[in-house]
Chains A and B, each alone.
Chain A
C-alpha cells in the first residue's frame, strides 16, 4: 500500500551505531505500530501509538525507542545497534475504531 512508506528500505550498519527508521502515512490514521519480523518468529510488536501523545511498549521494546512527531510520522530508533537486531522491520497503521492494519514496505536492517 503506497499510503504507508518507510525509509530507508535497506540499511547495513555496525555494532554500536545509532540508527533511525522512519515511517510516514497519508491514510489519515491515528494509530501507528512498529513490528519486527524474523524467520519462524512471525511479527512481533516493538512499540505502538494510538495518537500523537500516546506511546506504548510492545512485546519486545528493549533496545528500541520511538518518536511520534506528527499524526503521519512514527520513527523507530536503535540507540546502539547490536547484531541480534538484524531483522526486517515493518511499520503499520490502523484507523481508530477499525481493526485492519496496513503495513509499509519494510526496512531490512543488517547490523554487523
Chain B
C-alpha cells in the first residue's frame, strides 16, 4: 500500500518568514495530493490540493509543488502570520475510488 512520509514534524518560524513542509510517497499510481490544515481543537480542513498533471498550484500565500519523478510534493507558505499556526497534513491517493493515505502531520508555529 501507499506510504507517506512528512517532514519536519515541527516547524517554528518568525512572522513574515516562509515555511516549507515536505512529503514523499511510495505508490507511483498516486495522482491526487491534498493538504489539510488543523487548527488547535478544530477539525482538519482542505486548504489546497494538486493533481499529477500539474507541477505547481498557488492560492494567495500558499502553494504546492509536485515532483512525480522523485515522488515528493511540498507545501509552501509565504509571509507567514500567527493564524497560520496549526498542524498540516499531506496525503496521497491513487484517485477517486481510493482512500487517501495521510502523513503524520507538521506542527507549524508562527511567532509574532
Interface residues of A (CB under 8 A from B): 1, 33, 40-45, 48, 58, 90, 96-101, 103-106
A1 with B89: CB separation less than 8 A = no
B46 with A101: CB separation less than 8 A = yes
B43 with A106: CB separation less than 8 A = yes
Known: A42-B104, A100-B49, A103-B43. A58 touches B99 (CB 8 A): yes
Scoring B32, B43, B49 by chain A CB atoms within 10 A of each residue's CB, the highest score goes to B43
In angstroms, Cα B89 to Cα A90, docked, is 14
Nearest first, the 5 closest Cβ-Cβ pairs linking A and B are A42-B104, A103-B43, A43-B102, A42-B102, A42-B105
| Chain A to chain B contacts (Cβ below 8 Å), 29 pairs | A1-B43, A1-B45, A33-B99, A40-B105, A42-B102, A42-B104, A42-B105, A43-B44, A43-B89, A43-B102, A43-B105, A44-B102, A45-B99, A48-B99, A58-B99, A97-B96, A98-B96, A99-B32, A99-B34, A99-B49, A99-B93, A99-B96, A100-B46, A101-B46, A101-B100, A103-B43, A103-B44, A103-B45, A104-B43
Known: A43-B89, A100-B34. A105 touches B104 (CB 8 A): no
> Which residues from chain B contact A45 at a C-beta distance below 8 Å?
99
B43 with A90: CB separation less than 8 A = yes
In angstroms, Cα B103 to Cα A48, docked, is 18
> Which residues from chain B contact A58 at a C-beta distance below 8 Å?
99
Apart from A33-B99, A98-B96, A100-B46, list 6 A-B contacts with CB within 8 A: A42-B102, A43-B102, A44-B102, A90-B43, A90-B44, A105-B42
In angstroms, Cα B66 to Cα A61, docked, is 32
A-B contact count (CB 8 A): 46
In angstroms, Cα B32 to Cα A92, docked, is 18
> Which residues from chain B contact A97 at a C-beta distance below 8 Å?
96
